[in-house]
Amino acid sequence: MSIFESILDIRNKFDIDIQNSDDNSASIESIRNKYLSRKGTVAGLFSQMGSIDASQRPEAGKSLNELKSYITASINKRLESFNGQSDEDSEYSDLTLPGDPFPGGSLHPITLVLDEINSIFSKLGFSVAYGPEVDTDYYNFEALNIPKHHPARDMQDTFYISDDVVLRTHTSNNQIHTMENHAPPIKIIAPGRVYRNEDVSVRSYCLFHQVEGLYVDKNVSMADLKGVLNHFAREFFGQKVKTRFRPSFFPFTEPSAEMDVSCFFCQQKGCNICKYSGWLEILGCGMVDPEVFKSVGYDPEVWSGYAFGMGIERMAMQRYGIEDIRLLFEGDIRFLRQF
């Protein structure tokens, strides 16, 4: 093969290589390496120059230089074609191609459930209040009738920032903030994160969400509380859901209750989600304790009210059939994309 034939041959091979290469700089660079490096194909041809006929040398040198510039220019153009630089000039850009898809995000299941709860309660005239996640002992405990050394503090394993400052263990601190800042009547829900120093497991996490509810007015009764929560349960879980209220204890409500809804996984036939009881506990509630009214300067002889606090993770897990609470906090995109 004469040197001229070799030049043509290499140019053809290069054309095929560059056309078939992937759209990434690594594969283009490997082609550059193959043809243009110090030990590459083109350099190989230059080294043959000494052995060819002197009369052909100028012509051969010219062709070789042309090959080299051709390869250099083609490689640069190819790189530009997907780097987005000087796209218009590139023979490789096709303006009729569809754009790159831009994956849209999705709402987190907790956000979906919170939005739904907000919407149910806002139709009943509740407004939304927010309060601090880092709060003083006073708002998280004292003012809610949980004095220091009260056994009720053991119910909630508290993260202490200092002796007097805690990560709130429930959204009930919002009851105090709201009542301190507003005169009655009051009708709020207060969604937010709460923190408890619990062992992380399938069922519990060191942080979770609650929605607090507080209604204060004249002549509020337990019947009002049950009416509102039954309505909420039917809206959220479906008209067929059954509810029951069990007596319970919270220092800031008297009387206190816990509300269960009928298990909709097994239609109360018994399953491991409801632990074969047919019921799922979703919230704590009760009539605001007069001691709480006293700590915010409301006259308990005039004002009455109810409060409730529900756990959101559990409701989201039930709604979407999520079996491990940790999935809600790990931010794994494969999990989140499903919502």
Q: Which residues bind ligand PHE (CB under 6 A)?
A: 170, 172, 212, 250, 253, 284-286, 307-309
The answer for 297, left when phi > 0, alpha when psi is -120 to 50, beta otherwise, is: left
Q: Which is nearer to ligand PHE, 44 or 147 (CB)?
A: 147
User: Which residue lies nearer to ligand PHE by CB, 90 or 140?
Assistant: 140
Nearest Cα residue to 61 out of 10, 15, 8, 4 = 4
170 neighbors 309 (Cβ within 8 angstroms) = yes
Query: Residue 308 CB, nearest distance to ligand PHE (Å)?
Result: 5
Question: Closer CB to ligand PHE, residue 285 or residue 325?
Answer: 285
HSE toward the beta carbon, residue 125, CA cutoff 13 A? 6
- Reading the block at residue 246, the tokens are 């069990």
C-beta closer to ligand PHE: residue 235 or 281? 281
Of 172 and 318, the one with the shorter C-beta distance to ligand PHE is: 172
In the DSSP assignment, the letter for residue 191 is E
Using CA atoms, how far apart are residues 252 and 147, in angstroms rounded to an integer? 11
CB of 328 to ligand PHE, least distance (A): 18
CB of 172 vs ligand PHE, minimal distance in Å: 4
Comparing CB distances to ligand PHE, the nearer of 54 and 223 is 223
CB of 229 to ligand PHE, least distance (A): 11
Residue 164 has phi, psi (to 5 degrees) of -110, -10
Could you report how far apart the first and last alpha carbons of the chain are, in Å? 65
Q: Which residue is nearest to ligand PHE (CB)?
A: 309
> Can you tell me which residue has the tokens 């052909």?
56
Q: What number of helices (H) and strands (E) belong to the chain?
A: 11, 9
Closest CA to 325 of 193, 170, 208: 208
Least distance from ligand PHE to the Cβ atom of residue 180, Å: 17
Distance CA 133, CA 314 (A): 20
Contact 226, 127 (CB under 8 A): no
Q: Which is nearer to ligand PHE, 39 or 148 (CB)?
A: 148
C-beta closer to ligand PHE: residue 237 or 306: 306
Task: Specify the amino acid at residue 29.
Answer: E
Sequence-distant (≥ 6) Cβ neighbours of residue 130 within 8 angstroms: 174, 190, 191, 192
Q: Name the residue with tokens 């494969």.
A: 334
